[in-house]
Amino acid sequence: MAARQLWFVFVILAFAGAVGSGGRAAQASGGQQAGPGPLNIIAFGAHPDDCDGRAGGTAVKWAAAGHRVRFVSVTNGDAGHQSQGGGALAARRRAEAKEAGRRAGIDYVVLDNHDGELMPELKVREQIIRLIRQWNADLVLGPRTNDYHPDHRYTGVLLQDAAFMVTVPNIAPDTPALRRNPVFMFFEDNFQKPAPFTPDVAVSIDDTISRKLDMFDAHVSQFYEWLPWLAGRLDEVPKDPAARRQWLATQRQGRISPAVRAALVKYYGAEAGAKVRYAEAFEISEYGRRPDETEIRRLFPFFPR
Ligand SMILES: [Zn+2]
């Protein structure tokens, strides 16, 4: 009986010791504040132009400030056209994404999963976990999980499934785990159910909107063919490249919601925040590391002090 009690005490002490060292390890990694070096930002979209629309203007600002930005399209976009498809369309869209990345000064990766068929399955979750680890991400961006397009929804689910798991060494063990969970944030959308988008941070892109349109302009198959065709307006698109780039600018007017306007006022002040014409906004995911105000300003080093 006594021996058994002794063993029990030993187990308790050993367990406490393990917890203690784990706690110290967590504290040490939590204390690894990234210094003044470049930030590593990775954004995931379902299709080869999705990230451009939601974070292109902010990406240009990060890149111009010397930070590392990678956009990832989780599908190859091989369903996004009215008359082309399959491998030929995937190759075309991969080249368009590469050109958009070149224009923005960022890296652009297109994964080879079929467009319109994305499922929140383990294989793709592991692809995403590896990419986040390889980028040593400080910040991960992606869509929310309620959206009209199943590929968008499942990209959001896959990112939520990858959050935290990026820190678990036994998951996808061929790629070393991160020692701390990155901050995960959602792109802005207009869907209201089950909850509207809540902007935790908003960035003025008035100074980069033209560069963002240059990114759109690189996706010729989308902005001059597929999207106008979907809208029944293909005949309005000018044939001449310079004329269609001008036409594109007329199609994209800034619309800033009251909630995003309030976030702009918070970060830029009442006067400057009220004047912003184009913005991109982001909502903190509860499944990543929770940034405080200091860290938000470190991740988005664009605001007046
Ligand atoms: Zn899309």
Low-confidence ranges of the chain (pLDDT < 70): 1-36
Distance 177 CA to ligand 1 centre (A): 29
Please write the tens of the pLDDT for every residue from 133-163. Answer: 999 999 999 999 999 999 999 999 999 999 9
Give me ligand 1 centre to Cα 83, in Å. 18
Q: Give pLDDT, residue 253.
A: 73
Query: What's the confidence (pLDDT) of residue 191?
Result: 97
Residue 17 is predicted with a pLDDT of 34
Centre of ligand 1 to C-alpha 153, Å, is 10
Cis peptide before 194 (omega within 30 of 0): yes
Structure tokens given for 135:
């980028």
- Whole-angstrom Cα distance, residue 253 to residue 207? 15
Q: What is the Å distance from ligand 1's center to 91 Cα?
A: 17
- Put the strands of the sheet holding 107-113 in their side by side order: 107-113, 68-75, 40-45, 139-142, 183-187, 279-284, 201-204
Taking the centre of ligand 1 as the mean of its atom positions, its distance from the CA of residue 46, in whole angstroms, is 5
Confidence at residue 35, expressed as pLDDT on a 0 to 100 scale: 56
Identify the pLDDT of residue 36.
66
The Å distance, Cα 119 to ligand 1 centre, comes to 14
pLDDT of residue 305: 83
Q: How far is the CA of 28 from the centre of ligand 1 (A)?
A: 39
User: Considering the entire predicted model, what is its pTM?
Assistant: 0.88
Could you tell me whether strands 139-142 and 40-45 are parallel, antiparallel, or unpaired per DSSP bridges? parallel
